[in-house]
Amino acid sequence: MRVLVTGGAGFIGTNFVLRTIETRPDVEVTVLDALTYAGNADNLSSVAERITFVRGDVADAETVDRLVGENDVVVHFAAESHNDVSLRNPEPFVRTNLVGTYTILEAVRRHGRRLHHISTDEVYGDLELDDPARFTTSTPYNPSSPYSSTKAGSDLLVRAWVRSFGVDATISNCSNNYGPYQHIEKFIPRQITNVLSDIRPKLYGAGRNVRDWIHVDDHNDAVWTIIEKGRTSETYLIGADGERDNLTIVGLILELSGRPADWFDHVTDRAGHDLRYAIDSSKLREELGWRPRYTDIRAGLAQTIDWYRDNESWWRPAKAAVEARYAEAGQ
């Protein structure tokens, strides 16, 4: 099997490529990545001789058409993905998440290729903190930021191309990922690298916003399960029953790092900060037999902390600039 991975030098895409090489030696991998600030070709240095890497824009129709034609399956991770950045400048989100997905769809349509489209639970908006419900595939879309709205739009494009043109595609909407290689602007790696830098972690508002956390390896194993067993045109939700509020996550990071439980600062809450996400992944589990391995978030966080401690040279050069941007916003 020849697989084209868009956004394969970003956080989740990097881990997908590394796990694919580790677990599926018969798969030939080509990576397409524009290497924006969130992509890093060095992430793939350990497998550089076993993959083909192409630096390019997912909205570049000529490059995309050529690469799709050379591969059997497209796994579409490429996306602008940070909510805070989308509030400051939505334009790249429209280009990458909407125009990029359209470009991929037209290429797989021309060449008759299989597509798996990676999306997010943020397309559903949020749930009340005391609501027992979880997102399902029938939950109406209700995005609340330029990021989530462009991801919702990309999902709808995929569904339209399946119905209108018979494109062979599946979609997955996943809860919040954590693990190695995640950019330090994101919540968990920011707090971990703060602690490793002797900086007090920063907590939006009261810290009661809830996310449904999943280790990136569990997410990517689920993606492969969908590629191999999923039914065309179907949407699968990926989650690991990892609901925790942000205060709890900071507390676990402090505990695992040997710091006092109150060694953090409250900062101004983010505009439009969704209250709670929660995924019902029963369809994926019952139909396709997938199960998460990291069912204990403490173990997953401990592994993640160890990775950032052991790979300071990977994140340290960007740390000062990231914290300066947050400081400008009072966060």
E strand or H helix at 153? helix 146-165
Look up 131 and say whether it is catalytic.
no
Catalytic residue among 33, 121, 221, 274: 121
Amino acid found at 145: S
**Across the beta sheet with 51-55, what order do the strands follow?**
51-55, 28-33, 2-6, 73-76, 114-120, 168-174, 235-238
Are 8 and 17 within 8 A, CB to CB?
A: yes
Amino acid found at 309: R
Tell me how far apart the alpha carbons of residues 303 and 75 are, in angstroms, rounded to a whole number.
Answer: 26
Among candidate residues 131, 160, 155, 129, the one with its CA nearest the CA of residue 142: 155
Look up 204 and say whether it is catalytic.
no
Catalytic residue among 57, 122, 155, 280: 122
Are 72 and 2 within 8 A, CB to CB?
A: yes
Alpha-carbon separation of residue 124 from 34, 140, 151, 166 (angstroms): 28, 6, 10, 25
Tell me how far apart the alpha carbons of residues 142 and 126 are, in angstroms, rounded to a whole number.
Answer: 8
Tell me how far apart the alpha carbons of residues 162 and 83 are, in angstroms, rounded to a whole number.
Answer: 28
**Residue 273 three-state SS:** coil
E strand or H helix at 186? none
Look up 121 and say whether it is catalytic.
yes
**Residue 240 three-state SS:** coil
Task: Give every CB contact of residue 7 below 8 A, 6+ residues apart in sequence.
Answer: 13, 32, 33, 39, 58, 76, 77, 78, 79
**Residue 261 three-state SS:** coil
Strand partners, 214: 177
Number of other residues whose CB lies within 10 A of the CB of residue 262: 8
Catalytic residue among 102, 124, 147, 277: 147
Tell me how far apart the alpha carbons of residues 82 and 181 are, in angstroms, rounded to a whole number.
Answer: 15
Residue-by-residue DSSP string for 161-182: HHHHH--EEEEEEE--EESTT-
Catalytic residues: 121-122, 147
